[in-house]
Amino acid sequence: MDVGILLSFLLFLGFFAGVGLASMRVKQDTTDDYLVAGRGMHPALAALSAVSTWNSGYMFIGFIGFIYLMGYSAIWIGLISTVGQLVAWAWLYKFIQKEGNERGLRSLSSLVSEKAGAPEAKLAAVLSVFFLSIYAAAQLTAGGKALFVMLGWPELVGILIGFVLVVAYCYAGGIRASIWTDAAQSCVMIVGSVILCWVALGDVGGFSGMHSELESQSATLVNFLPTDISLGISLYLLAFFLGGLGVAGQPQVVSRVMTLKSDEDRKQAMIWFFVWQTPFIALMFIVGLASRVLFTDGDFDAELGLPALAMDTLPALGVGMILASIFAATMSTADSQVLACTAAITDDIKPEWREDHKTTKIVTLYVAAAATLISVGGLYVPGGDSVFALVVLAVYGLGGIFVPLLIVRWTGYKPDTVHSIVMMISAFTGVIVWTFLGLGEDVFPSVPGVGSAFIAHFIMCAVREESASNPFGRFEISQERRRQFATVGVIGLCFVGVAEAAYAIYEPELDSDEYQFRGVDDYIVLYNTESLNFGAEVVYLDDGDIYEVTYTWDNPEKLAGYIPMEVVVIASAEETNEETNPQGPVDQANCAIDPGNDVLDDITITTSHHSDTSSLTGSGFVIHGVDFTNSSYFFWAGMTDGWLRPADNDDYDVQLNITNKSDVEIYEKLYPTGDYTGEYEFTIRVDAQTGDGACPRTDPGEEVEFEIVIFALKDFQIIPRSVFLES
């Protein structure tokens, strides 16, 4: 650990923490001040905080990883989602702020009902807490990843530190502490990002050098069209727009809007938001591409691009500044999400706690602890520590639940409890089912989430007596307006058709060589196996005796065309000469009643090859030797994350189905490391075991059957599972 980086990190983190704690000087000990800062926040501060809260761990960790994997085509998520966010700020936020100020609301879930504590508000609050806890866990994970790569601290340590800071921010000044800290770290981070991009571009040879290096890795990285979009380019882009529009369904961002006093403040905040966020997107895009050029190791975690790039290009002071900014951003965002959960619980689930400031803070502590547990649990689930995956699930889940209801209520339509609940459950189900079916890899779940909610809305308007028949509220749809809608629909379908046709024509093609650069994915591994058995013997060993055997591999061509995996000894022994041994009348009586059972003897194999020595003991059977391909890890990966079975293809013996692994990592596991030729020394030892019981038994030793075996493989292929299934 670099002491300079640590000191710089502590310096800047102390500055950010000091800014947050300074909010204690102006706070008021009321729940309203704790959750919405008394609705008197300056537009610039609210906007900078909204940028940080909306992006933070996603922008600095998850978005970088997405760019690293996708290349130029990742630009669409930045452009299209920004358009969606602009619509949300100009339209839905105006409605949210007006309703919030008029009704004194402090949580987004309160907006979906006419009164606090209504069943639909309670359900909205429960779903908010569910998704925001996942979202907060993603922020803690992002902070843990940043500390891991820059200071070498375990991710678990970073997560727990984050928990302490989140609670400290909340208790110090509530949302005001979070907003102040966000604004401070945003200013520092944009300066640091500009410096980082400048240095990184110099290291990769400028934009032209970066382009050439990316193209040499894969032509798809420098193509603005994404590859392998099975559900169509239109849905792919629509998902990004709805994801951007979904900013209006994010309670932790909406809470910033609720801190503003007037509509004029909202307009100023909107300008500040986009003036500040747009450069961030451009800078992070460059960082992601530069990371792809500089870090090509197959084991590299794409989401560590920003901190790894800072470590590689900046001095200790700059590294500490970047690390502290990332960490402070993720923690203050997690704090915002925890506070949003608190507002949902105290205002909607348990409205009787609404003005109980002490209870509100206790709720905050429990929510922070729950988010921490989710983050820690994700470390032990394959793919569970992916910041991008966690954020996508949370953002699109919240967007699907709230945005359709907000739009419906904006039209003046007043859905009753059942109507609102069905829309929310439909959206929630759409997002979860879509995600678990794995379709989110092609189209983000914002489409099924929002789509399911609106379908439910239109169906209930058509068939349910209690629901008003006009789904557009105060907007009456005349025949002329229907014709206009039909015309717009036809134009839209034509546009979709042209887009799909253009994509079909110009879609980048992948060839087999480029599959090596896919990174972490699900793979099918096919290969043939071979084993050479020799040196089979049967020897008798007394209890405690050792038998030595040597084997010299002096012909590297002995397995020409095969990849040696292991050289092992396989030894086994049956229990054949264990006997009862009574020493007197009592023993004889005990042996007559229960002579006991034979017990297999322990066999220990010790292997020495060059300077490596290791041992393994088994009862009656043991296999042990030298592993050159990390095959124990390789087979663990196959049998834990997938399954090992005979190949479907007649040309291969074995098929491994491996999930969430890097293809380069698999490739490296399949090739031998070290010198597998030379002398192998094996020793076999027998330790006799006798059965327990009242009858004494003796076992002088045993016959051991053993042989030396070389395991090898050949003709292997690593194929992305999606490609394999298509073929």
**Per-position DSSP letters for 661-694, written without gaps between them:** EEHHHHHHHHS--S---EEEEEEEEEE-----SS
- Contact between 132 and 429 under an 8 Å Cβ cutoff? The reply is no
In angstroms, rounded to a whole number, what is the distance separating the alpha carbons of residues 606 and 63? Answer: 49
- What does pTM read for this prediction? 0.64
**Coil/strand/helix, residue 458:** helix
Sheet of strand 546-553: strand arrangement = 546-553, 678-687, 602-609, 612-619
pLDDT in tens, 171-185: 766 777 778 877 887
Rounded to the nearest 10°, the torsion over CA 430, 436, 441, 444 is 20
Query: Which residue type sits at 453?
Result: A
Which pLDDT does position 419 carry in this prediction?
94
Let me know if 583 is exposed, middle or buried by CB neighbors in 10 A (0-12, 13-18, 19+).
exposed
- Pairwise CA distance, residues 281 & 74, whole Å: 11
Distance CA 674, CA 702 (A): 36
Task: Indicate the angle between helix axes 305-313 and 263-294, nearest 10 degrees.
Answer: 70
- List the chain residues with pLDDT less than 70: 1-2, 27-38, 56-58, 61-62, 116, 149-150, 169, 172-173, 228, 297-301, 303, 332, 379-391, 441, 509-520, 554-562, 628-650, 662-665, 667-676, 715, 726-727
Name the phi and psi angles at 628, rounded to 5: -100, -15
pLDDT of residue 718: 77
Judge whether 125 and 42 are in contact, CB under 8 Å. Answer: no
Length of the chain: 727
344/335 Cα distance (integer angstroms): 14
Phi-psi region of 702 (alpha: psi -120 to 50; beta: other; left: phi over 0): beta
The H or E element that residue 276 is part of is: helix 263-294
Q: Which of 383, 337, 358, 415 is nearest to 166 (CA)?
A: 337
Taking a C-beta distance cutoff of 8 angstroms, is the pair 52, 182 a contact?
yes
Q: Where are the alpha helices (DSSP H) in 104-262?
A: 119-151, 155-173, 175-203, 206-217, 233-245, 251-258
Exposure string (b/e) for 72-82, b if CB count within 10 Å is 16 or more? bbbebbbebbb
Residue 644, beta-bridge partner list: 656
DSSP assignments along 65-79, one per residue: HHHHHHGGGGHHHHH
Structural contact between residues 500 and 233, judged by C-beta atoms closer than 8 angstroms: yes
pLDDT at 6: 83
Amino acid 474: pLDDT:
85
User: Angle at Cα 160 formed by Cα 157 and Cα 163, nearest 5°?
Assistant: 150
Residue type at 76 in one-letter notation = W
CA–CA distance, 227 with 220 (Å, rounded to integer)? 7
Task: Compute the 3-state secondary structure of the chain and give helix, strand, coil in percent, each to the nearest 5.
Answer: 65, 15, 20
305-313 and 119-151 helices, crossing angle to 10° = 30
**Contact indicator for 234, 496 with CB cutoff of 8 Å:** yes
**Given this model, what pLDDT does residue 630 score?**
53
The pLDDT of residue 667 = 65
Output the pLDDT for position 660.
Answer: 72
Nearest to 702 by CA among 614, 567, 598, 587: 598
Please compute Rg for the chain using Cα positions. Answer: 32
360 SS3 class? helix
